[in-house]
Amino acid sequence: MTDPALRPLEGIRVLDLTVALAGPYASLLLGGLGAEVIRIESPGGGDIARTNPPFIGSNGINFGAQSDDEVSLTILNRARNKKSVTLDLKTEQGRELFFELARHSDV
């Protein structure tokens, strides 16, 4: 009998390069099922949800980013169960790091 505490995708590593609604949502579900999900985001950009209101920061919740410490509640929701790394895939070093991650990933 299997351990009920284990989730079905435990031990599976997924690289997530998605940036729009369906992709990040799918990888969120994979993470919830136990996969190790590593988000790859480009410098200064990444998931477009980072700019979606509402935002939360030291001044509470608001609908327009007012300070540098604020984070979109959408990205906080969408990025749960994931690790995140910023890689510039336009550079040789960024591509080398990506390929190294891919060699040690399942999906």
Q: Is residue 79 part of a domain?
A: yes
Omega before 54 within 30 of 0, i.e. cis: yes
**Domains: count for the chain:** 1
CA angle 34, 84, 4 (to 5 degrees): 10
Band (pLDDT 50/70/90 cuts) for residue 76 is: confident
| Domain of 37, in residue numbers | 13-103
CA angle 80, 52, 87 (to 5 degrees): 60
CATH number of the domain bearing residue 75: 3.40.50.10540
Q: Mean pLDDT over all residues of the chain?
A: 89
Q: Is residue 2 part of a domain?
A: no
Residues 28-49, mean pLDDT to the nearest whole number = 90
Tell me what pLDDT residue 34 has: 96
